[in-house]
Amino acid sequence: MSEIVASANFQDKVLDAKGPVLVDFFATWCGPCKMLAPTIDALTTELAGKVAVYKVDIDESPDLAARYNVSGVPTLMLFENGAVKNHMVGAQPKQNILAMIGA
Amino acid sequence: MIDVAIIGAGPAGLAAALYATRAGLEATLFERISFGGQLAQTEHLENYPGYVLSTSGFDLALAMHEQATSFGAQTVAEEVTSVDLAADPKKLVTPFGEYEARSVIVATGARPTHLGLEGEEELAGRGVSYCATCDGNFFRGRDVVVVGGGNTAAADAIYLSRICRKVYLVHRRDTLRATAIYHDRLRGLENIEFCWSSKVVKLLQSDGALSGVTIRDRLTDGLRDLDASAIFIAVGTTPNSEFLNGALETNQAGYIIADESGITSIPGVFAAGDVRTKALRQVVTAVADGAVCAEEAAAYLAS
């Protein structure tokens, strides 16, 4: 399972992270988000040590959703050195996510 | 060896898996993302018999998946990207492996059709959406556009009218194709403006987000700009049959040619649900297809 991060630990876990970080902005009421969840969980394990994977619940952390202009869920964002390197919107198959993060 | 490879785990695929496993066959579901398909994106389902109170599409899909799994259906969370259906056994290729199966049920469904306008792909998640219940909340109190005239467009407009300030419903005809029950509900809503006989011809943007659309009146050819923070596109569906690369006969729109038996142009290959040629694409017809295809596959394997 990937860990849910919020405003309080976003800086530490995502922006100040040493390597690339994949963040899944999701909502508990969104069907495609629920469909994507098993893939995100699998990637958390498969990419351990290479890419950190976290989730942001946009209802719990509306400030983060606003800061990164998230206006569709699920939105996946790849962060590196505190900046957004890439993003994709909507539930996607695993190979597309791997391609986005260059893994 | 897999007896029945079922490509797609929406309602058709899940029902096929249920019937195939109960028939004593080894059934494996291949799913590109996760079970549920379009059903999982349906917020409220009011027309699935037996569910008197409206039920969530995701919850129904979850129950279908658990039911199929309880009888032994396996799931491979990989997207089938190419096939060799003429081979014996039949071959399925995913980005992560190759699989062989004695029979195949194609239940890959359909996806929302895009308008094909400039900027549509880049603005996805920035005001362009194909899922009102997913993204509507981001536009609370704002003005939005719904384009389309079928049940999805009607349901989207009703849903959005509750959370948005104003909803423009743009439809290319002068009357909705949607089922009668939606017409009465729509008429009772004051913040919906109907833009009949109109077509969205341009997506307007500012600062990388949608800021409005231009519509053309098909009768007068007049152009009009609508200020809107989002456009919800519900102009029908496109079958997910490209991965077959012509292996099965399809019609011009890409739907696999098959009648209610699900039998396709290749023996041992069946088509169930929205991906096949049929008159009514609903959950209730998809699950019926799945059951029939599983029986046909069992008969094929026994012959």
**Directed axis angle between helix B11-22 and helix B283-302, to 10°?**
40
Among A73, A89, A93, whose Cβ lies nearest the Cβ of B33? A93
Q: What percent of chain A has pLDDT over 90?
A: 90
Q: What percent of chain B has pLDDT over 70?
A: 100
Give residue B247's pLDDT. Answer: 97
A62-80 mean pLDDT: 95
Q: Hey, are the CB atoms on A27 and B137 less than 8 Å from each other? A: yes
In Å, how far from its chain's centre is CA B251?
A: 18
Catalytic residue list contains A9: no
Q: Chain A partners of B42 at a C-beta cutoff of 8 Å?
A: 31
Residue A1 makes CB contacts below 8 A (sequence gap 6+) with A41, A44
Q: Hey, are the CB atoms on A35 and B131 less than 8 Å from each other? A: no
**Average pLDDT of every residue of chain A:** 94
A34-52 mean pLDDT: 95
Residue B226's nearest CA partner among B189, B190, B200 is: B200
Residue A48 makes CB contacts below 8 A (sequence gap 6+) with none
Q: Name the closest residue on chain A to residue B124, using Cα atoms.
A: A89
Q: Does the complex come out with an ipTM higher than 0.90?
A: no
Q: What is the pTM of this model?
A: 0.91
Flag whether pLDDT at B125 surpasses 90.
no
Among B34, B79, B135, whose Cβ lies nearest the Cβ of A36? B34
Give residue A2's pLDDT. Answer: 87
B274-297 mean pLDDT: 97
Tens digit of each residue's pLDDT (9 = 90 or more) over B62-108: 999 999 999 999 999 999 999 999 999 999 999 999 999 999 999 99
